[in-house]
Structure 1
């Protein structure tokens, strides 16, 4: 079953990474966060991409959220998070997200499974468990908007769609 407006965000542990302050060329330092603890009391946009470093994700989806960062913040969004089932730190660094967008890894697809928003991209040689392209607007753990793409490109999962629901 797919998550719906009014549902509570599932409680799952996700990963993100912090830069190694002692050596910027060294591997990033993995961190964990529990979605319930982290998003409680906050207004957040969580958008998901099928894969880091993929064409639409790199040329459109993530850059559009960087471009609309100020607009989302002005509307009261506390956190903007990008999620995929890969390791996300290097892609975020490559895309220049800085501290604007939290790059979350759902490595086993548990969060996307709990949302009912996974897809099998084996035919595209990307693996059997990938995130669908989607965006959620969450306010104190309650889902206020769900935008899931049904075809190629970025529409309901983009920042313009999210902004129209704030």
Structure 2
């Protein structure tokens, strides 16, 4: 009889903790993907990082993305070197970050596909600027996937393009974000 009672109490506690964890409103994405694409007259440039971190709180709608600038990988090693040394000045500005809010984030508690406006501030190259875009969210079995894209004007973040390479680098780059969130 004692074994059954202890087993029952243990099972009850285990199920209670599991239920509590599932009610948490905070989600983390450890391997979020951020890529950017620059299409200019003489050359297209693309880079990607799968090392971004992100957190979201579906109760408050708060969302945060952080990525080390040196984690972006390019097809050509020289492009990566120029990106970090000349444009992003990654020694001086090692991280880029987005802090924002998801509108109607409460809908992300139920399985389904959702579109929501995300607005906030993007800090790149030491300059913070407001941005807003639409993002798509898929919720299935308490896992949330998110995808968004938006344009970033380099001059808005004081990233200068030398005139000798002006036809190789676009003034505006397309940024794409993909993340999978778990409790």
TM-score if structure 2 supplies the norm length? 0.27
Larger radius of gyration: 2
**Greater relative contact order structure (CA < 8 Å, 6+ sep):** 1
TM-score if structure 1 supplies the norm length? 0.29
Whose strand fraction is larger, Structure 1's or Structure 2's?
2
